[in-house]
Structure 1
């Protein structure tokens, strides 16, 4: 198996400090689902940063999806530059749990300026894989 050294040097956008190829890429490409709610949250942040719209839809609970999701996500990912992620807290969400909560702060730049998205996200397992259900969101100016 050939390994691209550039992939080994490219740090994951989620801020884990790990190479992208060993962190969020396996989840985003469908090779390996996120093992925990936090791992799913990190991979979703990375998907927003990279514009991986199909992954964002796939990892949203089916009952929470709408026909407009792809269009809205495409617009958001084109005008938003994600600049940093801080995990504030986690509750449950391990491989042994059915539900989990991840609180985070995600910095971003948009046409309206820079801000921080502060969210307490809820996740659950569906058919053995973690999905995002919803969250309590606030946007804080920087």
Structure 2
């Protein structure tokens, strides 16, 4: 009986590890499609319809990544879920703070769109998540 329980635990752990690599692979595909789309939009002379299609292409692998990531969180143990929740609880208010400050600064002074447009600011959001993840890991490990 104990052997069967340990075997099932190991099977779940192996499945999570394999699923984790798949999630990472989908994330890499998303990042690559983002940069390819961005390059095409910056260099190619396309119609408006084609530009919209190219701009929306990275949304497909990103949606797959989100679905896999959220599904994977459901498979984690209680402590790992708590760590993920704390990382998000740190990242979400930090994102609001960033957008609020940038919005107010934009009213106060002209901000360069080459430095502070949507295509630049979104990259702070994963940084906030990973900072929150590091803080939560440090707290619980």
Length-normalised TM-score, structure 2: 0.25
Structure with higher strand content? 1
Query: RCO (CA 8 Å, sep 6+): is it higher in 1 or 2?
Result: 2
Larger radius of gyration, structure 1 or 2?
2
Length-normalised TM-score, structure 1: 0.25
